[in-house]
Homo-oligomer: A and B are copies of this chain.
């Protein structure tokens, strides 16, 4: 099946075989040097196939980092800058980020700032990064466990989405990425939300990915610098990000991004019912569906102070108030709600009670 390219601001998201699309792209350009940024996983599962296809034709160097969100930090980023320097990367060089969100976020930040900016290309290899990190031009790294505290808005030259990479992923990773797909349905597209209930995790329909990218692209091209409606994509993330950060610091086996966002979406649906127009029936529908997909994770009440502290550092806040996107119904949402600390904790308790 041929999926149409999606036009974003100044670049395209193309779908298909990564090697073919990459060769096609490079034939039109004239880069002085080419670098692949990979992690331990993509070095083993994704890079070899591409290397086999391009090997003789396209000389390149490889920079490898350890996989895992805890590595999306400034120290690893400094390592990438130094490797680029050591390998002689100049302003006409290209960085190809081959990996999940850690590789695409950090690799694009490293490229966007190396010698004041060199070209980069995204090849997201996880479901999460294909439907989320792939479009929107956000680059970033975590500092002191504050997610994406430092970054830029910089667009890639192109984004290549190859659904076959998903076959190499553990099911837990797939289900984590699915949280962003659920979110896309909930914030702007009820029909899509109904359709994705029939997803088959072992064999994701590429049309689902395509539709999610198209939804996200529509939102981010309308508001690239997150001044207004792009904040819709923050639904589930104010509380979810805080739970994810806390879990990263405290749990032996921390939550994956999407697992935390799933909890955030339930809590923020509760707030949507209480403060926006979300009806009880749809609240139940959302909770039932999310709980049917995601494992139970009790949020420790001892973490509440830390969670609030994380939320206060959220980039969307202004004047120390914690900013939310809430649902008016499944498929419609409104930005810039502010909820009190008490109400926020109440929403987390609501989630905790559901999984009793």
Contact A318 B90 (CB under 8 A): yes
The stretch among A15-23, A114-122, A155-163 that forms the contact with chain B is A114-122
Contact A81 B150 (CB under 8 A): yes
User: What is the bound-complex CA distance between A116 and B140, given in angstroms?
Assistant: 8
User: What is the bound-complex CA distance between A151 and B91, given in angstroms?
Assistant: 13
The stretch among A34-42, A58-66, A141-149 that forms the contact with chain B is A141-149
Given contacts A78-B74, A82-B143, A318-B32, contact A151 B88 (CB under 8 A): no
User: What is the bound-complex CA distance between A226 and B116, given in angstroms?
Assistant: 10
Chain A interface size, as a band, is 35 or more
Q: Which of A112, A150, A316, A320 has the most CB of B within 10 A?
A: A150
Contact A114 B81 (CB under 8 A): no
Where chain A touches its partner, the secondary structure class is: mixed
**Which residues of B sit under 8 angstroms from A172, Cβ to Cβ?**
none
User: What is the bound-complex CA distance between A176 and B267, given in angstroms?
Assistant: 59
User: What is the bound-complex CA distance between A143 and B113, given in angstroms?
Assistant: 12
Of B32, B113, B139, B148, which one neighbours A150 at CB under 8 angstroms?
B113
**Which residues of B sit under 8 angstroms from A85, Cβ to Cβ?**
143-144, 146, 149, 313
Which residues of A approach B to under 8 Å, CB–CB? 32, 74, 78, 81-82, 85, 88, 90-92, 112-117, 138-140, 143-144, 146, 148-153, 225-226, 312-313, 315-320
